[in-house]
């Protein structure tokens, strides 16, 4: 799927994405729908890897398993697939969709039912000051009240762009910056000092994932919450980050952590440690975005929903799976994920 508006981060420029769609068939009329968004940088998988794993490993493993016992199904898949996070996520999402259909309930209620809607974060890629401000105006004009700027290539310039956006959108719009691991500790400190009065919600993954200690070094600089993203893919990493008080926020992406079940575990660790969660995404179809939304609505510890990748996709087979009104995301009323594939 091509993107209507390519975007740039500290890691790459993206103009298209490849997703793999999955159907889980049963001996009834119920069919579970899932989606993998493999990404070499994030999940370590290619679309070819996912297809091969689904056809040669996963399909024989799930045959004859009971879909109303999702823990059994997931553990079996984890045993045979190893660490293939987006492949596991696609199957886990399809299993959740199927379980909801069997129960006759939307997934967000089965997972906890904490809220019925949540504001969406809209991400603005790395652009010059003028273009950044123009995009900010545009999204706020469409009702969005939470903007996230991409940065990481120029700490001083990132602070200037954040300040310019704040001047334009006012204090009623929440604002954050994601450096995608692009800063050194000194550059991170520089950004924090230069943006101290901007009123940011958080600074996401300022330093490289190989150095979790650097996140803690920046967290100790002041009250602005530091969020772990690239540094957080497993429950073990969540335990380390929480146990050492290195960050105050987790970015949980279903594709990155391996699906709904591990996301629940990471959220529980965060909740016990007083660490809030943002449900994020990579370049995903509305189908897996819907799964992220259902998770965000279900869990009380989720504070943010950075679920905007589907807005830019051209010819998304699951378009319409997520409803957005004035910058707020709503699920469909149907059982499961409420997704229909074109």
| Cα 189 from Cα 263, distance rounded (Å) | 30
Is the per-residue pLDDT at 15 higher than 80?
Answer: yes
pTM, two decimal places: 0.96
pLDDT digit string, tens, across residues 224-240: 999 999 999 999 999 99
pLDDT at 66: 94
Q: What is the 3-state secondary structure (H, E, C) of 145-174?
A: CEEEEECCCCHHHHHHHHHHHHHHHCCCCE
pLDDT at 212: 96
pLDDT at 5: 85
Per-domain residue ranges for the chain?
2-104, 109-330
pLDDT digit string, tens, across residues 102-126: 999 999 999 999 999 999 999 999 9
Q: Which residue has the tokens 């990493």?
A: 237
Domain 2-104 has CATH 3.30.2350.10: no
Q: How far is CA 76 from the centre of its chain?
A: 25
pLDDT digit string, tens, across residues 324-333: 999 999 998 8
Nearest to 241 by CA among 281, 269, 278, 202: 269
Q: What is the CATH number of domain 109-330?
A: 3.20.20.120
**Phi-psi bin for 42: left (phi > 0), alpha (psi -120 to 50), beta?**
alpha
User: Under DSSP, is residue 295 helix (H, G, I), strand (E, B) or coil?
Assistant: helix
To the nearest whole number, what is the mean pLDDT of the chain? 96
Q: How far is CA 182 from the centre of its chain?
A: 19
Q: What percent of the chain has pLDDT over 70?
A: 100
Rounded to 5 degrees, φ, ψ at 152 are 110, -15
pLDDT digit string, tens, across residues 245-282: 999 999 999 999 999 999 999 999 999 999 999 999 99
Lowest mean pLDDT among 9-18, 85-94, 310-319, 320-329: 9-18
| Token pair for 196 | 């101290």
pLDDT at 59: 97
pLDDT digit string, tens, across residues 214-223: 999 999 999 9
CA angle 274–276–280, rounded 5-degree value: 155
Taking the CA atoms of residue 58, residue 63, residue 66 and residue 71 in that order, the dihedral angle to the nearest 10 degrees is -20
For residues 77 and 58, the answer to whether their CB atoms sit within 8 Å is yes
Is the per-residue pLDDT at 159 higher than 80?
Answer: yes
Domain 2-104 and domain 109-330 have a common topology: no
């Amino acid at each position: 799927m091509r993107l209507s508006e390519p975007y740039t981060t500290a890691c790459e420029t993206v103009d298209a994405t490849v997703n793999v769609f999955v159907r889980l068939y049963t001996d009834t009329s119920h069919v579970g729908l899932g989606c993998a968004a493999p990404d070499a940088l994030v999940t370590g998988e290619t679309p070819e890897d996912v297809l091969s794993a689904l056809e040669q490993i996963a399909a024989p493993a799930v045959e004859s398993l009971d879909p109303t016992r999702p823990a059994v199904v997931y553990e079996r898949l984890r045993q045979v697939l190893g660490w293939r996070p987006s492949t596991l996520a696609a199957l886990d999402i399809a299993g959740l969709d199927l379980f909801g259909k069997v129960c006759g309930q939307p997934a967000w209620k089965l997972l906890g039912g904490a809220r019925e809607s949540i504001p969406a974060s809209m991400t603005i890629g790395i652009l010059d000051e003028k273009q950044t401000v123009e995009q900010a105006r545009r999204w706020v004009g469409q009702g969005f009240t939470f903007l996230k700027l991409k940065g990481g290539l120029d700490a001083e310039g990132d602070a200037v762009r954040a300040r310019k956006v704040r001047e334009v959108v006012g204090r009623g719009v929440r604002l954050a910056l994601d450096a995608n691991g692009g800063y050194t500790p000194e550059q991170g400190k520089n950004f924090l000092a230069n943006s101290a009065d901007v009123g940011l919600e958080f600074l996401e993954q300022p330093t490289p994932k190989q150095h979790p200690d650097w996140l803690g070094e920046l967290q100790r600089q002041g009250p602005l919450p530091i969020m772990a993203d690239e540094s957080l893919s497993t429950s073990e990493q969540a335990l380390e980050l929480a146990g050492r008080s290195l960050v105050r926020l987790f970015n949980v992406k279903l594709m990155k952590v391996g699906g709904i079940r591990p996301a629940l575990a990471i959220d529980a660790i965060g909740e016990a440690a007083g660490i809030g969660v943002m449900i994020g995404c990579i370049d995903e179809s509305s189908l897996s975005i819907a799964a992220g939304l259902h998770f965000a609505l279900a869990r009380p510890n989720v504070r943010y929903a950075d679920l905007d990748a589907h807005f830019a996709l051209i010819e998304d087979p699951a378009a319409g799976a997520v409803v957005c009104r004035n910058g707020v995301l709503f699920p469909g009323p149907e059982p499961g994920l409420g997704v229909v594939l074109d």
